[in-house]
């Protein structure tokens, strides 16, 4: 397995951290490697639905994000990525704490990729699982000063 450039990973994590939607969701890219990524989310009152449990859209967002970043390192440097299909199952309610989504790339192609993600609560309980089909978008890369690989 090819190891990513540590300077690129650091820059990417900072870029994601300061991007509007991840910041709004209190979501962070914690680790990224070729074929895997971990997304963390600190739950707050804004993530709850009226019954006091985490809204399903929060879990769906984590699965979408973890699958995206698990495929990302396989993209050409001049390409972006978009989700075209998301399937998930909610397995356990969550009220508070930290969530972690672990994304794994299953199949990476030139134009279509497929990945899965599992979301765990702070006690390590599996709370959601999902899969995603993603499409490569040539010419839609994230502008970075460092290169992905050394």
All structural domains of the chain, each given as residue ranges with its CATH number in brackets, are 6-138 (3.10.129.10)
Q: What is the mean pLDDT of the chain?
A: 95
> pLDDT digit string (tens) for 58-99?
999 999 999 999 999 999 989 999 999 999 999 999 999 999
Q: Are 65 and 32 in contact (CB under 8 A)?
A: no
Alpha-carbon gap, residue 2 to 8, rounded angstroms: 14
Strand order in the sheet with 79-90: 27-33, 36-42, 98-108, 112-120, 126-138, 79-90
């Amino acid at each position: 397995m090819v190891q990513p450039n540590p300077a690129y990973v650091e820059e990417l994590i900072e870029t994601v951290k300061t991007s509007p939607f991840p910041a709004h969701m209190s979501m962070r890219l914690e680790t990224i490697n070729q074929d895997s990524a971990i997304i963390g989310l600190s739950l707050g009152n804004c993530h709850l639905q009226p019954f006091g449990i985490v809204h399903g859209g929060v879990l769906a967002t984590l699965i979408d994000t973890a699958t995206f970043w698990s495929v990302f390192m396989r993209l050409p440097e001049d390409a972006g990525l978009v989700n075209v299909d998301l399937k998930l199952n909610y397995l356990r309610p969550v009220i508070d704490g930290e969530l972690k989504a672990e994304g794994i790339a299953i199949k990476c192609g030139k134009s279509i990729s497929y990945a899965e993600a599992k979301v765990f609560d702070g006690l390590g309980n599996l709370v959601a699982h999902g899969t995603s089909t993603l499409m490569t978008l040539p010419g839609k890369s994230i502008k970075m000063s460092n290169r992905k690989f050394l």
